[in-house]
Structure 1
Amino acid sequence: MRFAFTKCHGSGNDFPLIDARAIDLSDADWARVAIALANRDGPVGGDGILLLTAGDADTDFGMRMFNSDGSEAETCLNGLRCTARAGFEALGIKTARVRLKVSRAEVAHVADILPGVYGVETRAGPAATDPAAVGVRMAMPAIDAFIPGLPSARAFTAVAMPNPHLVTFVDRVDEAELVALGTWCEARPELLVDRANVSFVEVRGADLFVRTHERGVGLTDACGSAMAASTFAAGLTGRVPFGIWTTVFNPGGRVRARAEAPADGAIVTIQGNATFEWDGEGDVDLESGIASELVVTRRRDDEVAAWKRVRSD
C-alpha cells in the first residue's frame, strides 16, 4: 500500500505524519505501517508515526500515534504540535480541539519561535498522580518517593499525562542507568504491566533538562509528554513554581512549558516547534512490515535551517 506523508519533528521528536482521514485500516495494519516507516534502518525512520484523523461532534480533528514498535500511545505532545499544524492547514483554522486516544487537547497556532520556525501551543491534561491512572501497582501516589519494587533507590514522581511517566530529579543524567531502568520497564513487570516512560531531569536554575527512555521507542532525543510530566513533577516537588513559564531542554531542542497546580486544574501548556522537513511517498508491505520505493516530493530546507538556528541559540 502506498502512503503520502510529511517527515516532521517537534523538538527533535521525529515522525512520518499521514493524513489518515480517508484511510480505513485496522489497528494491526497501522501498527505494521509504524514498524515499517519508523524503522531507523529503513528509508524513512522516526520515533513512530502520526495520523491526522477525522474529528467528531466534540473535536475539530483527531490524532493517533503509533510507536516504532507498533504499540499505540495515549498521547504524544511533540507529535500533537505537528499534527495540529497539519490539521490547521487542512481545515484553514488556527485553533482546535483535538481528539486523542483517551483524552482531548486544546491547540493553537502561535507566533514563530524564531523566524521560520512554526509555533504551536498545546494544552493537555489534567495530569494525575493516582496510581491507577499511572498504571503503577502501589497503594499511594508516588511524589518524590521511593517506589517499592522498582530497581532503583532514587525518589520518583509517578504522573499520568495521560500516558504513564516516572520522573526523577538528578544532579547529572546517567544515560546507562536511565536505559537500564527503562529497559526493565519495557519488560512489563508486575509493578508496571503497561510499561512506563522514564525521565531523568536536571534542574538548571529556572530551567529543566529532560532525558527520557520512551515507552515503545527507547532512548529518545525528545518526548513531549515527558517534558510536560517533568514540569508538573517539578511543581509538585517545589523545584519550579506552578503557574510560571520555564524552558525545558532536551537533546533534540527545547520548548516553553507551564504547569498549573492540581487545585487549578493540573493542565500543562507547552509552546514549541512543529517543523516540516520534507514530503514524500512510500510503499508499505502490510504483510512483511517493510517500507520501500521512497520518493521525496518536496524538501523544506528553509524550515530545517531555521530549526538549526534554534538549536544553536
Structure 2
Amino acid sequence: MRLSFIKCHGSGNDFPLVDGRALDLSDAQWGQVARALSDRAGPVGGDGLLVLTAGDDDAAFGMRMFNSDGSEAETCLNGLRCVARAGFEALGLDRATVRLKTSVATVARATDLAPGVYTVTETAGPATLDVAAWPLDAGAAQVVAAPVPPLDPHRAFTAVAIPNPHLVSFVDRVDEDELVRLGTVCEAAPVWLPRRANVSFVEGRGEDRLFVRTFERGVGLTDSCGSAMAASTYAACLDGRVAFGRDVTVLNRGGLVRARAERDAMVTLSGNATWEWAGEATIDLIHARAGDLTIARHMDAEIAAWAAVADAAC
C-alpha cells in the first residue's frame, strides 16, 4: 500500500504523521505501518507513528500513536501537538478537544515560542497516582518520592500516569547507563509491571527549569517525550521542587517546552509542532518495511526556526 505522510517533530520527538480519517486499517495493520515507517534503519525513521483520526460527538478529531515496536500508546503529548496542527489545518480550527486512546485533551493554537515556530498549547490529565490501574506492584497504592523495590530499592521514584505510566526520579546528574538499565528492566514487562512503563531521570537546573531524559516504553532512550515532561512537572510539584500553577521551562535533548501543573492534576504544555518534510512511501504490511520513498517538499524555514530554539536551549 502507498501512504502519504508528513515527517514532523515536537521538541525533537520525531514522527511520520498520517491522515488516517479515510483509511480502514486494523490495529495490527497500523502496528505494521508504525514498525515500517519509524524504523531508523529504513528510509523514514521516527520515535513512532502518529495518526489523525475522525472526530466524534465529544471531539473534533482524534489521535492514535503507535510506538516504533508497533504497540499503541495511550497518548504522546509531543505528538499530540503535531496531530493538533494537522487537525487544525484540515478542519479550519484553532482550538479543539481531541479524542485519545483512553482520554481526551484540549489543544489550541498559541503564540509562537519563537519566530517561525508553530506552537500549540495542550492540556491533559488529570494525572493519577493510582498505580493499581497500570498495574504496578510496588507494595503501595501510591509511589511518591519512594523506592520501587522490584526495580531499585535505593532510588526514589514518583509513579504518575497521564494517562500512560511514568516512573520519575530526580537526580543531581543524569546517568544514561543507569537510565537505560532501569528502562530495560521495565521494557521486559516483568510480572510486577506487565504493561511496562516510561522511566525518566530529571535534573533541576535553577529556578523553574527542569531537564528530562527518558527511556520511553516501546521506543528506548529518546531525545524527548512529551508525557514524560508533563509527568515530571507534576512530580516536581508533588515533591515541592516547583510550585503548582507556576510556569516552568522543561528542557530535553530535542529542545524545550513550557509547562504548568495545577493542583487538580491537569498539566499544560506549550511547545512546537514543526513540519520537516512531506512525502509518501510504499508499505509492505507483511514484513513491516517501507520503500520507494518520494519527498514532495522540505520545510526548510521551519527546520531552521526550530534549530535556533534548540541551540539556545542547550
CA distance in 1, matches of 2:276, 2:122: 21
1:298 CA drift (Å): 1.1
CA distance in 1, matches of 2:177, 2:149: 21
Residue of structure 1 in register with 2:309 after alignment: 310
Indicate whether 1:296 and 2:295 are aligned.
yes
Residue of structure 2 in register with 1:102 after alignment: 102
CA distance in 2, matches of 1:307, 1:266: 30
Question: Given residue 218 of structure 2, which amino acid in structure 1 is its aligned partner?
Answer: G
CA distance in 2, matches of 1:27, 1:181: 29
CA deviation map 1:240-262 (0-9, x unaligned): 1110000000000000000011x
1:147 CA drift (Å): 1.4
CA distance in 2, matches of 1:152, 1:305: 45
1:150 CA drift (Å): 1.4
1:134 CA drift (Å): 3.7
Residue of structure 2 in register with 1:225 after alignment: 227
Residue of structure 1 in register with 2:131 after alignment: 131
Unaligned runs of 5+ in 2: none
Indicate whether 1:277 and 2:279 are aligned.
no
CA contact (8 A) 2:134 2:195 kept: no
Q: Which moved more, 1:63-72 or 1:144-153?
A: 144-153
Q: TM-score when scaled to structure 2? A: 0.98
CA distance in 1, matches of 2:135, 2:166: 9
CA deviation map 1:252-294 (0-9, x unaligned): 0000000011xxx210000000000000000000111110000
CA distance in 2, matches of 1:244, 1:51: 32
Indicate whether 1:28 and 2:34 are aligned.
no
CA distance in 1, matches of 2:152, 2:36: 33
Residue of structure 2 in register with 1:59 after alignment: 59
Q: TM-score when scaled to structure 1? A: 0.98
Question: Given residue 105 of structure 1, which amino acid in structure 2 is its aligned partner?
Answer: A
CA deviation map 1:61-94 (0-9, x unaligned): 0000000000000000000000000000000000
Q: Which moved more, 1:215-224 or 1:136-145?
A: 136-145
CA contact (8 A) 2:132 2:141 kept: no
Residue of structure 1 in register with 2:40 after alignment: 40
CA distance in 1, matches of 2:169, 2:215: 12
Coordinate RMSD, CA, aligned: 0.7
CA contact (8 A) 2:8 2:276 kept: yes
Secondary structure in 1 aligned to 2:228? helix
Question: Given residue 188 of structure 1, which amino acid in structure 2 is its aligned partner?
Answer: A
Indicate whether 1:150 and 2:168 are aligned.
no
Secondary structure in 2 aligned to 1:304? helix
Unaligned runs of 5+ in 1: none
Aligned ranges 1:86-125 → 2 under 5 Å:
86-125=86-125
Residue of structure 1 in register with 2:213 after alignment: 211
CA distance in 2, matches of 1:33, 1:152: 39
Residue of structure 1 in register with 2:260 after alignment: 258
1:133 CA drift (Å): 2.9
CA contact (8 A) 2:248 2:258 kept: yes
CA contact (8 A) 1:134 1:158 kept: no
1:53 CA drift (Å): 0.1
CA distance in 2, matches of 1:12, 1:165: 19
Residue of structure 2 in register with 1:172 after alignment: 173
Question: Given residue 158 of structure 2, which amino acid in structure 1 is its aligned partner?
Answer: T
CA distance in 1, matches of 2:54, 2:172: 44
CA contact (8 A) 2:200 2:214 kept: yes
Q: What number of residue pairs does the alignment pair up?
A: 310
CA deviation map 1:72-129 (0-9, x unaligned): 0000000000000000000000000000000000000001111100000000000000
CA distance in 1, matches of 2:270, 2:311: 18
Indicate whether 1:71 and 2:71 are aligned.
yes
CA distance in 2, matches of 1:179, 1:162: 22
CA distance in 1, matches of 2:39, 2:25: 20
Indicate whether 1:9 and 2:6 are aligned.
no
CA distance in 1, matches of 2:281, 2:150: 44
CA distance in 2, matches of 1:69, 1:239: 35
1:152 CA drift (Å): 4.9
Residues 159, 134 of structure 1: alpha-carbon distance in 2 compared, 3 angstrom cutoff? farther
Greater than 2 Å deviation, 4+ residue runs: none
CA distance in 2, matches of 1:140, 1:238: 21
Secondary structure in 2 aligned to 1:249? strand
